[in-house]
Amino acid sequence: MPSIMKRFLLPQVSLTDRISYYHLLLLMVFLPFDLFFTHVIFISYALHTLLHLKQERLKKILSWRNALLQAVFFIVLISVCYSNYQANAWADITRLLLILLFPVFFSLNQLNISLYRNRLLFVFATTCTITVAYLYLHALIIIRHFGLPLQTIISSLFLNQNFSDPIAMHATFFSLQVALAFFYLLSRVFKTPGLKHRVIYLAAILLLFAGLVQLGSKAVLITTLLALTFAVPFFLLSAPKRFKYIIATMVLSLIFIGVLSNVDSLKDRYFIGFRSDFSKPVFYESVEPRLTRWDAALELVAKKPLTGYGAGSELSILGDQFFIKKLYVSYLNRFNAHNQYLTFLLITGIAGLLVYLLTLMAGFKMAITKKDFLLFVFLLLITLVSGSESLLNAEKGVFFYSLFFSFFVFSPQDKRTEF
């Protein structure tokens, strides 16, 4: 235990850098839990940074790197000027504030994050693994308490939101964290020589993958399978091994899909649920298909394609549109567009959507140029999940996006990285 404490909690740096490191470590630990803790930790990190600010670091705030990371915030801020929903507009700006602040304070803080990238990600992955294990334990305790058969764990009683409910976390947003932890540990398997450590990593990887299936986010699971099949060989394997790996992974993916299709609850979640998202609505359905809601949103976009309706407008204008289109379930539940690309079109128009797309494209270019596997996987998750969720409409989504985008950009892979 003392050696582990020394390795992960006490890097041999100045006290100022050590405290900065502890703040980031605590952010990684508390990310899957209540936002109160992560906000308090970030505020403390910001105050610590300002207290030890060196004047020469101020010029680092104005950089192309920060402009890339903050672009989404500024395009939404501009849209406040023409919004007819000012109260809601400033609520949107407040929610997106971390997209502005993380790059600022990473620039001002003197800690070289690259040196401790692996340590921090290891702590994050460990936290996610322990949390998934806790959720399974919680489910098993309930099953035992009520005398239910063990296979109940893969029934709808413990899928999706029902599985993540004990930590009060939306299943999709927790899935994003679990997927990133999964790929970090997978990268360690390829880079770690010792068999003992590889076995431990593989056990954690299997648990995290099971958690992804249990959490039931279709977009995240599809992204995981795609990244496993194509991103892993490109970033982590030498050219001669890639083709065999891709074929083997595709075969295993087909077997896995076959298993999903033969378990009723998983079939309902992943196959029937996916099909219903793109089907015609049925009156008195519990939830209208996503495609129908997207069609309603696109009709609004067509009326103001260039500028959109301004920050804070989405729920109000969509609510009216849902009522007109007789999508009463969506109206009563005040659903958003459930598509981040549509959300940008609605509130900022084509300009905002282009800014978001260019931000993602610049990130992908950086990941490929620097051979940064985790940055690539992170952006792939953001890109595909944005197609089914308004990711930045939820504080957990904003925190995940702003923290890890800034973290990976400010900590490029470095041969000196400690672990």
Torsion sign over Cα 275, 392, 386, 122: negative
* 3-state SS track over 168-230: CCCHHHHHHHHHHHHHHHHHHHHHCCCHHHHHHHHHHHHHHHHHHHHHCCHHHHHHHHHHHHH
Contact at 8 Å (CB) between 304 and 275? no
Closest by CA to 294, choosing from 321, 334, 254, is 321
**Element (H or E) spanning 108, and its range?**
helix 97-108
Please list, residue by residue across 133-166, b when 16 or more beta carbons sit within 10 angstroms of its beta carbon and e when fewer do: eebbeebeeebeeeeeeeebbbbeebbbebbbee
Check residue 278 and give its pLDDT: 65
CA torsion, points 340, 342, 346, 347, in degrees to nearest 10? 20
Check residue 284 and give its pLDDT: 47
Backbone angles phi, psi at 143, to 5 degrees: -60, -45
Check residue 1 and give its pLDDT: 42
Kindly report, residue by residue over 297-338, the tens digit of the pLDDT: 999 999 999 999 999 999 999 999 999 988 888 888 888 888
Kindly report, residue by residue over 140-153, the tens digit of the pLDDT: 999 999 999 999 99
- DSSP secondary structure of 354-407: HHHHHHHHHHHHHHHHTT-HHHHHHHHHHHHHTTTS-GGGSHHHHHHHHHHHHH
Contact at 8 Å (CB) between 311 and 92? yes
Check residue 320 and give its pLDDT: 92
Closest by CA to 227, choosing from 125, 380, 357, is 380
In the chain, pLDDT over 90 holds for what percent of residues? Answer: 75
Check residue 243 and give its pLDDT: 93
- DSSP secondary structure of 228-259: IIIIHHHHHS-HHHHHHHHHHHHHHHHHHHHH
Could you tell me the residue ranges of all domains in the chain?
Answer: 1-60, 70-108+288-411
Kindly report, residue by residue over 283-295, the tens digit of the pLDDT: 445 567 888 889 9
Check residue 326 and give its pLDDT: 87
Contact at 8 Å (CB) between 178 and 155? no
Closest by CA to 401, choosing from 359, 367, 346, is 359
Check residue 2 and give its pLDDT: 47
Contact at 8 Å (CB) between 182 and 380? no
Cα distance between residue 284 and residue 287, in whole Å: 8
Check residue 114 and give its pLDDT: 93
Can you list the residues of the chain whose pLDDT is less than 50? 1-2, 283-284, 416
DSSP state of 272: I
